[in-house]
Structure 1
Amino acid sequence: MTTVTTRTVAYPADGLTMLGHLALPAGTGPRPAVLLGPEGPGLNDVQRHRADALAELGYVALAFDLHGGRWFTDPQEMLARVTPLLADPDRMRDIGHAALDVLRAEPRTDPDRIAAIGYGTGGAIALELGRAGVDLRAIGTVNAVTTGRPGEAARIRCPVWAGVGSEDPIMPPEQREAFTAEMQAAGVDWRLVVYGGAEHAFHHPSVEHTVLPGVRHHPLHAERAWRDIVNLLAECLPLTE
């Protein structure tokens, strides 16, 4: 296992002081980098550990914050903050750009080789960065097959991979169809993986505390989705380039 260095980085966004988790791989030279967005409740150790795992592979990784260092345990309180955020593409982009600026400012980051991946709300933000025309090597989302404003998907300049559970009531079949139609019409290089039997947030091992229906951990598909993301990065953001 390679030596990974981590630190908390504070930065302003959305009127809050965000507390991101930066993970650096061994070595001293510039490396490709990954912006990692958390699900609606916020940044917790699950996503911090994913950033660390990416750094072990050789990437600079920043798990960004959504709520000023807060993790929501009350689903209704979380929805009260996240629902208007998801309805505001410009606000999502501002949160994403603020984190991207932190990642680009890290001396170990190769600014020309950055990918954005995210889960739930964090995935929606990654997609909005693409729709804003940000120069990314890849976009990967889990549980976020969100659509954007008309025509803006044509600005996406990289492959898009999306994973979703077949039984996800928050991202149902009609939402998946709208997403793929948007990507196809925009000429995006897109892929969608539907994980059979999985519900929303199937990738997150501690979601059982929630009272929201249709939210359940699926360990097998969680591992598969992670491997799919790592394969996306290996294809689009190779470490040996």
Structure 2
Amino acid sequence: MTRTTTRVTTRTVTYPADGLTMVGHLALPAGVDRRPAVLVGPEGTGLSDVERHRADALAELGYVALAFDIHGGRWFSDPEEMLARCMPLLAAPDRMRSIGHAALDVLRAEPRTDPGRIAAVGYGTGGAIGLELGRDGVDLRAIGTVNALTTGRPGEAARIRCPVWAGVGSEDPIMPPAQREAFTAEMQAAGVDWRLVVYGGALHAFHHPPVDQTVLPGVGHHPRHAQRAWRDIVGLLAECLPVTE
């Protein structure tokens, strides 16, 4: 399905990955010229309107944006189902990379995309996939993650070729201080240009507006920090992947 407004055109894209048919959301800015592009990865629950709207917002700013799928069109309202799918995935870097590369291929194939100017932004599992693309040596201009301070296989962070920005809530029990320290130690040892922002008082998935579902303990929305994290991500893109008219 294709939808066009005065400034943004969106359409659904399907593609194979991880043995599934993924259902992504592509947003294009006005015009016909090539533009820098952004992969937008979802939380572990799956691709939702939250990420679709973020892709649309990036298209409003002049980027080609693909909000990619990780569960074959499914969105998990049951935390136990989500964990049963995500925990094995997060423990398998090559699977994460295959999902990321499949989405990247779709984004690169879009005629409006400048294939030499692509960034990856992700939340939770989607952020971990972006980091794995970096560890796989993909030529990205920036990687931005929220509550995805995952560490990789020894030595592979040295393949990251771009700045990395990470945001996390200070009260996130899923990404506690020990995990933050492990992540920043990995980035520092690899010589990565990295930044970490800790949002005071915020829980896991603080960026995600509340939805009608059962949530895990330690998960909660923080409206003020959600806005700040979005501004930080937009700032990262403006610095590393500027849009030139």
| TM-score bracket, shorter-length normalisation | over 0.9
Corresponding residue of 1:165: 169
Report the CA distance between 1:211 and its aligned residue: 3.2
Q: Any conservation in 2 of the 1:208–1:217 contact (CA below 8 Å)?
A: no
TM-score between both structures, scaled by the size of structure 1: 0.98
Q: State the distance in 1 between where 2:22 and 2:123 align.
A: 18
2:127 to 109, 123, 128: 123
Give the distance between the partners of 1:180 and 1:208, measured in 2 at CA.
34
- Look up the SS of the partner of 2:96 in the other structure: helix
Question: 2: distance between equivalents of 1:208 and 1:7?
Answer: 26
Q: Distance in 2 between matches of 1:37 and 1:86?
A: 14
In 2, Cα distance between equivalents of 1:48 and 1:230:
16
1:8 is matched with 12
**How big is the shift at 1:229?**
0.1
Aligned residue for 1:209, secondary structure, equals coil
Question: What letter is aligned with 2:166?
Answer: A
Amino acid at match of 1:222: A
Show the 5 A alignment for 1:127-146: 127-146=131-150
**Residue identity (%):** 86
Equivalent of residue 106 in structure 1, options 103, 106, 110: 110
Structure 2 CA distance for aligned equivalents of residues 211 and 158 of structure 1: 34
Give 1:128-207 correspondences, 5 Å limit. Answer: 128-207=132-211
Q: CA deviation at 1:2?
A: 5.6
Q: Does 1:63 align with 2:64?
A: no
Structure 1: gaps (5+ residues): none
Distance 1:208 1:145, change over 3 A: farther
> In the aligned structure 1, how far is the partner of 2:117 from the partner of 2:23?
23
RMSD after superposition: 1.1
Give 2:222's aligned amino acid. H
* Alignment partner, residue 211 of structure 1: 215
Residue deviations 1:58-82 (CA, integer Å, cap 9, x gap): 0000000010111000000000000
Structure 1 CA distance for aligned equivalents of residues 241 and 42 of structure 2: 20
Q: Moved runs in structure 1, 4+ residues, more than 3 A?
A: none
Q: Give the corresponding residue for 1:93.
A: 97
Deviation at 1:206, TM superposition (A): 2.1
- Alignment partner of 2:13: what SS? strand
| Contact preservation (8 Å) 2:78, 2:213 | no
Mark the runs of 5 or more structure 2 residues left unpaired by the alignment.
none
Q: Is the contact made by 1:207 and 1:217 (CA closer than 8 Å) also made in structure 2?
A: no
SS in 2 for 1:71: coil
Paired residues, number: 241
